[in-house]
Structure 1
Amino acid sequence: MKYKLPRGTQDILPEESRKWQYIEAKAHDLCQRYNYKEIRTPIFEQTDLFARGVGDTTDIVQKEMYTFDDRGGRSLTLRPEGTASTVRSFVENKMHGWADQPTKLYYIGPMFRYERPQSGRMRQFVQFGVEAMGSADPAIDAEVIGLAMDFYSELGLKNLKLIINSLGDKESRRNHKEALINHFKPRINEFCKDCQTRLEKNPLRILDCKVDRNHELMLDAPAILEYLNEDSVTYFEQVKTFLKDMNISYEVDASLVRGLDYYNNTAFEIMIDGDGFGAITTLSGGGRYNGLVEEIGGPATPGIGFALSIERLLMALETQGIELPLEDGLDAYLVTMGDKAKTAAPKLLHQLRHEGLKVDADYLAKKVKGQMKAADRQQAKVVLIIGDEELATNSVMLKSMATGEQELVSITDITDKIKNYKSE
């Protein structure tokens, strides 16, 4: 029997995983600079968490979740996104009572959505996300957007485009909802069944429909910016001012609504301009979600966040021909000559690794020539050769792979010698 990958998943092999490790390290470093702390939540949660948090009118909840009953008959779902789980943990662990507020968290981990696999969009994918809860200050909106932009730019991406919009507060959204219903209702029978279902409950979702996006009523649908009250306008203007002060360019797009029900006020997407990236140009998105904490059972707590796909980031890097500065090769490769040297090798390898060096040796009984070829393939900076003579004098023959020069070095000095070659 042959076993194959489940559709929409991938094996990340060692050469590729090095890129993931570099990107994840960049995310950890950046979040530390912004004073965001890592959180790790379960891969599966109660199904109702996502129905209430993400929104039961979204495509994610209606069509894309991996849901199953456990042996106790409880309905569980593999997490399709990270915000709902993070907010659940915020409420359950009473983080709103922590001394330092707002609570600033980030996560990196796999998410699951049952959708048609395509380039940069998998059924199992990895998200890096940030959530800041406890502050309604527009400055933290700008901070979260700035963190996302910094992440991409520090990895070398060019031609980034920040799109922002305001979805308004509850009053603004209520007025906009009424306008949308009045706009679409006379001809709602011309739209897909999903849009018909969403008309009364959440007509904003109609604007995000992929099936009817070219319908003529979409072109002149009421824009949320026309229905913002004074408070929402002031808030949005403050966010834009902070972005300008931070030298972050942006474009306002009144049609940007995002794909999740919990967003209000600030919404944003980061896109990439240029050929070769396919039809889907969005790299990441996020926004403010005041009200979500209460929806999940916590106290009134404002929040804002974003999430991005590591897979789409890697696509963008490849499209722009950006090579990550990965550290290649071993510090040293140990070549043994004779049975005594082979017996002595594990001790020396263990010692060098304890000194923080990347070293390896042959485990297939290759001849010296084969061992040297292995050292070259693994881009070792130096080769350490030991035989009977070296063992007798407690020394190692060190050979530079760059110059071919050789020197006899005492075992006690070998670590410093290798580190010298490494620094050069």
Structure 2
Amino acid sequence: MSNTPFSDGIQAGRLSSAELSENFGDLHPRYDVHEALVAADRCYFCHDAPCMTACPTDIDIPLFIRQIATGTPEAAAKTIFSQNILGGMCARVCPTETLCEQVCVRETAEGAPVEIGRLQRYATDVLVERGAHPFVRGASTGKKVAVVGAGPAGLSAAHRLALHGHDVTVYDARAKAGGLNEFGIAAYKSVDSFAEREVDWLLKIGGITIETGKKLGEGLSLDGLKAAFDAVFLGIGLGGVNALGVEGEDKDGVEDAVGFIAELRQAKDLTQLEIGRDVVVIGGGMTAVDAAVQAKLLGALNVSLVYRRGKDRMNASEFEQDLAASKGVRIITNAAPKAVIGNGAVREIEFEYTDNDLKPTGQSVRLLADQVFKAIGQTLVGEGLPTLERGKIKVDETGRTSVEGIWAGGDCATGGDDLTVTAVAEGRDAAEDIHAALRAD
């Protein structure tokens, strides 16, 4: 980081373009051929591979690593894409350290797993960069399916439906497809417009039309979609952000972390993106870590991530927590927001310390803050939706909702754990059930 003097308040250009370019470089650069072969050689190719069981999309991990080891990365990529059509992005953003790599036999025996995520990225990048699409669309069925939401779940469903020969129209509220892959993850995890390029590559299957700027409830209705299409899949994500519920939350400088991340991801020039001197991020998940780390990388002098529970209860993985600490983010746990203090704009934020049961201890602390990012969870937004359960669309194991002809998956539905890879699996599986239902008609 630079030693450039910092000014008070929220401002742009705290660091130079060169410094920002270095700070936001690829977190895990892709293996070269030799590195990939060496990494693949560490795999035991287990018959009952625990890594496969831990993968939400059930990728045949030993097979694709063996294919890399034998010099056929394109074949490895097809093995991956047959289960996870967004395998390139998942290789970048998946918490592999708590999924496939955590149960790797090498991890159990040596504390150093096979780097499955980086091997997956190597294989998928090779195929995507060569431009070819590994699958051929089936003969047209004459059936039409609407997919609402062009995020991981919606794109996964759309691709699998198109593969089976159905005509798919994908609607999305934003101006660009991709959902959280495009707007909701840290910029250093997906560089060089990869999310956009991956969508373009996915669409080469054919049979998929994407219409942006179309939002459910604003020009689109479920009744209208049901009437116009043979089936509907909802992958609308979670559009609302939870409130802190404390005095002063409406002061200037208190913002949503998801909005900050989206703005950063779409920024053409990071030197024009404003950031505070003293930044406080409230939350304990991946979004909180992404916001905190990126605030630091943009040049904030002091960044604190504050979570109301203990460190062991944070949804962000240990790897992500360590990454934040390594970038200079201060992590404070067992502290709940109590009040935002300032005259019009935030100047401090007060937290009250809690015990393990979230009961106040009577002790509090004030942190200087000219910018506060809320990352305390998102909520489902929409009217006239199928039956809800715990604030999400209730679905069965195949993604069927309470309304005949409507399926759902991803963050908006009850089935998953709010991971990109899980959303991909749910979109794929719902598409297979939609396909079965349409064939039976």
* Higher RCO by CA contacts (8 Å cutoff, separation 6 or greater): 2
How does the TM-score come out when normalised to structure 2? Answer: 0.26
Q: Greater Rg, structure 1 or structure 2?
A: 1
How does the TM-score come out when normalised to structure 1? Answer: 0.26
